[in-house]
Amino acid sequence: MTTTAKDIIKRIKDEEIEWVDLRFTDPRGKWQHLQMCSGAMGEDEFEDGLMFDGSSIEGWKVINESDMILRPDLDAVYSDPFSATPMLAVFCDIVEPGDGSLYARDPRSTAKRAEAFLKTTGLGDTVYVGPEPEFFMFDDVRFEDGYDRSYFKIDDIELPTNTGREYEMGNLGHRPRAKGGYFPVPPVDSTMDVRAEMVSTLLEMGLPMDKHHHEVAAAQHELGVTFGTLTQTADRVQVYKYVVQMVAQAYGKTATFMPKPIKDDNGSGMHTHMSIWDNGKPTFAGNGYAGLSDNCLYFIGGVIKHAKALNAFTNPTTNSYKRLVPGFEAPVLLAYSSRNRSASCRIPYGSGDKAKRVEFRFPDPLANPYLSFSALLMAGIDGIENRLHPGDAMDKNLYDLPPEELANVPTVCGSLREALESLEEDYEFLLKGDVFYREQIEAYAALKWEENARLETTPSPVEYDMYYSS
């Protein structure tokens, strides 16, 4: 049942809410907010939205056309457990003031357009998405990038570098080694209770959670949020990240979703499960490989075909490609399989037709979830519409393939530069149904080219080590 402005106003009164926090997502994927006194939010404000300056958001409006509307989605409202006084966090869409249309560059609006486009194709009426964002928690993080120095230094009680460290209360010795965090019980797993509080908080906020566990690397973790519809799930990813970082901070720790903060250990991914349903029936179930339908295989084929362009959205940072290298369980090879996790497209085991889905393993948690999920859907739809079969499944361990076989398996991009260049050459599939817009893609890419240029023009401590005395 649709929530009305009257419903929200009644809730504000009943729960003595003092603040209404209007939240939206910028092109890079960061949650932004505008906090309003609850008394200033009447029916008109909840239904029509509020004006704000869109030129202040990188990648959006220029100053001479900056006025935009922040319109609340009244079906996406959460109580914020971290506010000192009662507060509602409300997801908002960005709306053009001239004609009331969803703003072309608003990521959440893109997700809504993607879901609407699916319905027009006749392929299904619902797309379900199940993400697995991983993250690291540290005790101390320091970094500097200046004129005369560049460094970072991290520390955490779990890091294997601390096995010989002297602590005031003694070194208790229980910690995972490199790639040894999956997943012994405490005391080796030192943050079980921190993760449990994160999950409990998310459950209280209404998210469907099912588990939490330590990940492969020291200080690396994952919480289990179950599937939902595309925009709904992207919203949940934003709540997930917020809660992870806020709970970590409450425990005196710091959480990061950087894909590769540690050189010699596994990086963090955001494996993304997807399936299309129609009239309550799973369209990805069939009689093909691993019980899949032709449409599911074509969906995989579309993602494989457009994977390098997709990387600009699914792996949108320079740091993303320090994870996507062989040897760290990284899914760099564009193949599909029901058996091994070395393939970038995996068919998870599940009993019954309803469990049939495909898991894309190359995305990472710095992806803007609205853009990443929408781009994956658009690539999959293109695959179905053009019957792009992905070929035979690869059920071998792809990391052990001989060089002559490996040469025939395509890979994801090796750098953000390659991803952005691939997007420049392959973006038409994103424009169907006006889901993405050309100027939106160009503005997004311009932000990412700035990031890439900064990395490529900055000397690294590694280069001093390799070349200073040459």
Residues that constitute the known binding site for ATP: 210, 273-275, 341, 354
In the annotated binding site, the residues are 132, 134, 210, 215, 222, 266-267, 271, 273-275, 323, 329, 341, 354, 359, 361
- Per annotation, catalytic residue among 96, 132, 189, 235: 132
Enumerate residues 6+ apart whose C-beta is below 8 A from 64: none
- Per annotation, catalytic residue among 26, 115, 156, 215: 215
Q: Is residue 359 flagged as an active site residue? A: yes
- The one-letter amino acid code at 445 reads A
Instruction: State residue 404 phi and psi, 5-degree precision.
Output: -70, -35
- Per annotation, catalytic residue among 341, 385, 395, 417: 341
- Per annotation, catalytic residue among 44, 53, 405, 456: 53
Residues facing residue 76 across a β-bridge: none
Residue 348 CB burial class (10 angstroms; 0-12, 13-18, ≥19): middle
Residues facing residue 220 across a β-bridge: 136
Give start and end residues of each alpha helix (H) in 279-402. 294-305, 307-314, 320-323, 369-385
Cα separation, 98 vs 201, in Å, equals 40
Q: Is residue 341 flagged as an active site residue? A: yes
- Per annotation, catalytic residue among 26, 361, 364, 382: 361
- Per annotation, catalytic residue among 80, 106, 134, 189: 134
- The pair of structure tokens assigned to 246 is 């806020």
Cα separation, 68 vs 196, in Å, equals 40
- Per annotation, catalytic residue among 222, 235, 265, 364: 222
- Per annotation, catalytic residue among 271, 306, 346, 357: 271
CA distances from 98 to 33, 67, 103, 144, 290 (A): 23, 10, 11, 44, 50
Q: Is residue 134 flagged as an active site residue? A: yes
In the annotated binding site for L-glutamate, the residues are 266-267, 323, 329, 341, 361
- The one-letter amino acid code at 45 reads E
Q: Is residue 385 flagged as an active site residue? A: no
Cα separation, 401 vs 70, in Å, equals 52
CA distances from 286 to 162, 290, 348 (A): 51, 9, 15
Nearest of 330, 306, 326, 283 to residue 390 by alpha carbon:
306
Q: Is residue 434 flagged as an active site residue? A: no
- Per annotation, catalytic residue among 26, 80, 235, 359: 359
Q: Is residue 417 flagged as an active site residue? A: no
Q: What residues are annotated to the active site?
A: 53, 132, 134, 215, 222, 271, 341, 359, 361
